[in-house]
Amino acid sequence: MTLAAATSLECGDVIRIAAAVIFNDAGHVLLVRKRGTKFFMQPGGKIEPDETPLGALARELREELRLEIDRDASLYLGKFSAEAANENGLMVEADAFETPLRGPIAAAAEIEEIIWVDPFGPLGLPLAPLSRDHIMPVARSRRDTANGTQR
């Protein structure tokens, strides 16, 4: 479904989220899997009514990965829409940001598994539609073009 179609749904049918593209030194992208689910996705989460997308991302990454981000170094990648992976019949609308990895991370809150994947490699794991169809293609592009060099 396109973003225009998703935004035409009733407010209750669209979950607004912020999502992160985080690379490690090897150029791999961070994916997470929430407890009780099977799909891997970008870290991030729901945007509360009083939050900006970047503010929500900072809060979610702190809660779920014990990661503090540098908001000034985060790059807005765009707004993307897809079927929600874990909530049948709903759509997610994501503001996505590339944010630098600053220090160690650890699974916390509802995160059960953390993995680093080569965005160009055969993933062979269940990806959330948003990650599979939108975010990972952007991550491939970013890895090749960030600062004119490959990460």
Per-residue DSSP letters for 57-100? HHHHHHHHH-----GGG-EEEEEEEEE-SSSTT-EEEEEEEE--
Sign of the four-CA dihedral 63, 71, 50, 43: negative
Distance CA 98, CA 70 (A): 11
Q: How distant, in Å, are the alpha carbons of 27, 55, 60, 104, 139 from that of 118?
A: 7, 27, 23, 19, 10
pLDDT at 88: 85
With tokens 């992976």, the residue in question is: 85
User: pLDDT per residue over 71-96, tens digit each?
Assistant: 999 999 999 999 999 888 899 999 99
pLDDT at 146: 54
Q: Residue 101: is its pLDDT beyond 50?
A: yes
Contact between 58 and 133 (Cβ < 8 Å): no
Beta bridge partners of 93: 16, 81
User: pLDDT per residue over 112-122, tens digit each?
Assistant: 999 999 999 87
Q: Residue 131: is its pLDDT beyond 50?
A: yes
* Phi and psi at residue 111, to the nearest 5°: -80, 125
Beta bridge partners of 21: 98
User: pLDDT per residue over 7-16, tens digit each?
Assistant: 333 456 899 9
Q: Residue 58: is its pLDDT beyond 60?
A: yes
